Structures are given as structure tokens and as C-alpha cells.
Structure 1
Amino acid sequence: MDGLWGGTAVRVCAILTLALALLALVLRGWPSAALPGLRRALVLQSGGAAQPPGGGCGRTLSLTPPDQREDIADILESMGAKTGAELGVQRGIFAEQVLARWRGCTQYHLVDVWAHQQINYQVGSNVDDKTHNEYLEETKARMAKFPAAVFHRMYTSDAAKLIPDGSLDFVYVDARHDYCGSRQDLELYWPKLRPGGLLAGHDFARAADGPKGGNWSLCADGTVNPGAVRGAVEDFVRGKGLDVVATLRDRWPSYMIMKPLC
């Protein structure tokens, strides 16, 4: 009996040793980081496929939503992200919040026409040209301490032609809030992201939930779509088989979509 038990104990010890060795390999291959301001960490999960040498094609990215949109900066910093673009900057408040916490950023494109839009843009932010010029100067003052800031005073569709595909780690969409404009920005800037990059945007809501006095259902071409930002995002991710999450405590939630690694 003692001999039998001794042999069993040896086998159990061998199995435990092997299991611990495998666990160590897994932990080295799948790092995670604690992120300030998040309820849980951004994690990299295996999709179950065999990993090619040096690759990540079998991996999918999973993201737990942060409380507020400013916390996106902590995600970017933890990812080691370096480059980003913000579409629809207005006074530069969000850009300042992000860059103050995203210290690893080396280039941040600020895209805004900073001009009154005459055709079918019935929102409170569509102020007169004088006010837009004041917004631009305010943004420049906010960005003076951030050498990463690059200004593009033009429409998002024009700026997209200047930014190479696969060159960005982060895009934040906050320009037009109608379905057509939102969907166009998603389609134009998705190719600009590197694999594993983060596409996010403001005001994840339908037209009926938008602010009073505005009309998010009206597209620039005069067509009407009540889906607005949320409808555009949901159709976009559905077409690509992706997931979308939104911030938990913002009055106007921000959505987030991770680009697959391959």
C-alpha cells in the first residue's frame, strides 16, 4: 500500500509541476495591467486558434467599459498607444483631458472645420463663424503644452486623405451627429487604425435622446434617420461582426470598438 501511495504521490507532484510550468508560460504570454479609473482591466484573450510565430491572429481584444470618457486615456497609456485623431474638437476640452493623462502620445490630429455649416446641421454646436474662430484660438491655447497636437482645419473627409491607413492607435469621433455623417466618419477612419487600435466616439444615442433644440436625425443631404450616432455605430459593428461598449457614468455616453488584430 505504501508503495502504491508513494507512486501516486510522485505522479501527482509531476502533474502539478507541469501545470505550474504551463501556467507560467501563459502568464508570460498574456500580460494584463491594472488601469486607474477602470472597474476592470483591459485584457487580451485567446480566440482559441493556434498562434503563428510572433503573431496574434488567434487573439481577440476584449474591453470592459470605463466610467467616463476621460478614462479612455488610461486605456491608451496601458496599451502603449502613440498616435491618435479627434474628429470634432470644438474648444479642445476633451483633447486636453486625454493628452494630460496619455503621456505616451507622440502625435494627436485635431480635425475640425471650425466654421458655421449652412446646410442641414441643426445642432447647438453649429455656432457662427466668429464663435468658431474663438473656439479655435481657445483650443490652440489648450494645446500649447502638448507638442503632439497637429491641427487640421477642414472637414473630416478631407483630413482622412492626409492620414495614412494603419497609422493611428486611436480615433475619437465627435463631429456630425446625424446617422449619415457618423457612419461616414466610421467608414473613413476605420482603415486609419492599426490592428488592435481603439475607435471611440461621443454621444452614443439616438435622435430622440439628443439635446433639446437639436435635430440629430437630419443628414446633410436632407434625408432623415432617427438612429443618429447610435444607429450608425450599431449598423457599423453589426456589419463587421464586432462588439461595442459604452462608458458607464457619462451623461452622454462614449462608445468604444477595438479593431481585431487580424
Structure 2
Amino acid sequence: GFRDFVTEDRWHGMLGQTAVLNHAMRHENSFPLMQIVEGRERAGFYNEGCDYETIADRCRAPLFLNFDDMAFNDAMRRYLSERFPTPCIYERRVHERVDSGRRSVATGEDGETTTTEPHATNATRPEPECRQGTILRFPPVIMKDRGQMGEFLNSQGLCGEGVEVGVASGVFSERLLKTWKGRRLHCVDPWSAVDDDPNYIDRLNVSQETHDRNHAEAVRRLSAFADRYAIHRVASREAAATFADSSLDFVYLDARHYAAAVREDLELWAPKIRGGGFLAGHDYLDGILPSGHFQVKSTVDQWAGRHGLHVACSGEHVWRSWFVKLP
């Protein structure tokens, strides 16, 4: 089952400053962290613009939990600064130097750090010590946000065929096609309501009517790109079977987010990507959120570790993307 986002000294990829505060709270041994109390009632801050006094009162309560970044305002920053003027021991640790395997994600074939901005990172230099609102247990950041993915792929010479699994209304597909210089983006989504999978708890598991509207909207958005896109209205497994091994430059996963489904997609699509290409995806976090249940970060990290691969990510405070460069 799901645990709190920062129990057992693990970062699960929760929203940026939220995770920092919860982690600091936990290591002060003052605040038991809970997910839900008394049925569906939540403890903590959810989409609220609380003032300083409210924040201080809530944080003294015995049932304190995560709040989302919508609540992380100036009052919360003031509370953090006064309550935790210096980082706790776990936040004081400086990242180990990124090893050569991780450098391959952020550098070119010659081993030199990529100089194309804003994607360049100095992979030989340890990360700075933690300040409020930063996260040290995320992997290296290779782009500011996923909106830069197209430019990043261009800089890596990955301009052939790519796949997005989980398209919804095509907003990200359109954004990617505007900047990526690739030959064709294959957009995979069954656009089908799911009522027989108890593990699939997600705000995008909508009615068939809504799926049909999303499909029509995706087609409308992408029609401007002529033959640079292809719609595959099938499930991920069925679509993967139609691509030859080592034929794709990248696959971006944004479908079901529970562990078994993420693991299946990783195993299905990794063989389809050529050496030097990227297997990537959205929602790099674990947790029970109002928008659904997520086990993406732990599943991706475990899979990459088993295969001797390294994970990089985008730098958003919320809903990061993950990237694994395949050998």
C-alpha cells in the first residue's frame, strides 16, 4: 500500500516544497504524518491560502499531513524560515558526484557536458547544499520542465520516430510537435472507459463520452501537423506489438500510474527504443493524491536499477517527468 510521501527516509517525488517541509518535520520527531483521518477527511493543507497563524496552529496539531503547492505561499515560506532556519541533517547532505553513467544522460557522445541551453548541466560538480524548496534526492535535472523536451530531443539528434502513450486531449502532443523536429509522433491511447480495474484510480479515468470528446479534441489539435503524427486508438500492449525493436528514438509514458501497469509499459516499450534513445514519462512521484494513486517513481527507479540504468528528470515543482537513456 501507499505510505506517506517521506516515510522511511525515502523521497517519493512528491511536490517540491511540500516534501521538504514534511521531511524536516519528520526528523524533528514532532509531527506524526497521516494520509487520511476519520474516513475521507484530510489533515493538512489542500488548495488553501492559509495565513501564518493558521499554518502554525495546523503544524502543532497531532494530525498533520501533506499540503499541496497551491498552499505554499509567503506565509508558509515564513513559517519554514523561522521553524527550520538551517536544513535538517538529510537536507545538509551534498549529492555524491554524478557517476559516469548518469553523465551520459546529460552529456554528448564525446563525454563533454552539453552546452545547449537551457538543458546543460555540469554533471561533474556536486549539487549545492539544500535550501528551502529544493530537493536533493531527485536525480539530475536535464531540463527546466517537460515543455523543453522537444528541444532536448533535437539537441540529442533524436529526430526520427517517437511515441507518446497516454494522450488525452492532445495538449502535450501538440506542444511537443511544435518544437521537436522529428519525423513522426505516434500518439497511443485507447480513449476507452475502464470500469474493471480496481487499481486504476485516476482523474483521467473518465466516462466514454468524455473519452470520445478528448479523442476528437486531440485529432483537432494535431491536424495542423499533417503527416508528422499518427493516432493509434489502441491499448499500450497492442500498440507496442506493431513497432520493431530498436526502431524508436523515444517513448514517453503517461498512461496508468500504478506499479504493475508502469512496470508492464517499461518492459513493453524499452526494447522498441534504439541505443541512445530515451524511455521517459510523466508524473514522477508516488502517493495518494486527489487526482489519483501514483506509484511511478518507485517503479521506474527499481526498474532502472535492475538494468543498471540511471534516471534523470525535469525540474518542475509539481508533476515532474523522468528520463532514462538506453544503451
Same fold per TM (> 0.5)?
yes
1:243 to 310, 313, 319: 310
Q: 2:168 aligns with which of 90, 99, 105?
A: 90
| Cα contact 2:114–2:121 (8 A) shared by 1 | no
Aligned to 1:20: none
Select the residue among 264, 269, 273 that pairs with 1:184.
Answer: 264
Alpha-carbon shift at residue 80 of structure 1 (Å):
2.0
Cα separation, partners in 2 of 1:77 and 1:41, compared to 1, 3 Å: farther
Q: 1:40 aligns with which of 118, 121, 140?
A: 121
**Equivalent residue runs for 1:149-228 within 5 Å:** 149-208=229-288, 211-212=289-290, 214-216=292-294, 228=295
* Change beyond 3 A, Cα 1:165–1:42: farther
Which one-letter code corresponds to 1:139 in the other structure?
A: A
Is the 2:189–2:232 contact (alpha carbons within 8 Å) kept by the matching residues of 1? Answer: yes
What are the Cα deviations for residues 1-28 of structure 1, in whole angstroms up to 9, with x where unaligned?
xxxxxxxxxxxxxxxxxxxxxxxxxx99
Pair 1:101 & 2:179 matched? yes
| 2:134 aligned with 1:134 | no
Q: Give how far 1:41 is off.
A: 8.1
Number of aligned pairs? 202
TM-score (norm 2): 0.58
Q: Does 1:229 align with 2:309?
A: no
Whichever residue aligns with residue 175 of structure 2, its letter is Q
Provide the C-alpha distance between the structure 1 equivalents of 2:113 and 2:221, rounded to a whole number of angstroms: 33
Q: Which residue of 1 aligns with 2:189?
A: 112
The CA deviation at 1:238 is 0.8
CA distance in 2, matches of 1:28, 1:246: 20
Aligned-pair distance for 1:42? 9.7
Unaligned segments of structure 1, at least 5 residues = 1-26, 44-62, 217-227
> What SS does the aligned partner of 1:191 have?
helix
Distance 1:28 1:98 in 2: 24
Residues of 2 paired with 1:29 and 1:189: CA distance?
Answer: 27
Secondary structure of residue in 1 paired with 2:323:
strand
Query: Within 5 A, what are the aligned runs for 1:10-29?
Result: none
Give the secondary structure class of the aligned counterpart of 2:231.
strand
Q: CA deviation at 1:34?
A: 3.5
Distance 1:99 1:28 in 2: 25
Kept in 1: contact 2:113–2:121 (CA 8 A): no
Task: Give structure 1 regions of 4+ aligned residues with deviation exceeding 4 angstroms.
Answer: 27-33
- For structure 2, the 5+ residue unaligned runs are 1-107, 125-139
Write the deviation string for residues 169-201 of structure 1: whole angstroms up to 9, x where unpaired: 011000000000001001100000000001110
- Kept after mapping to 1: 8 A contact 2:113/2:120: no
Q: In the alignment, is the contact (CA less than 8 A) between 1:198 and 1:257 conserved in 2?
A: yes
* SS of match in other structure, 1:190: helix
Residues of 2 paired with 1:137 and 1:107: CA distance? 20
Change (3 A) 1:236 1:134: same
User: Cα–Cα, structure 1 residues 40 and 157, in superposed 2: closer, same or farther, change >3 Å?
Assistant: same
1:99 CA drift (Å): 0.9
Cα deviation digits, residues 185-243 of structure 1 (max 9, x gap): 011000000000011100011124xx315233xxxxxxxxxxx1112101110100111
The aligned residue for residue 18 of structure 1 is none
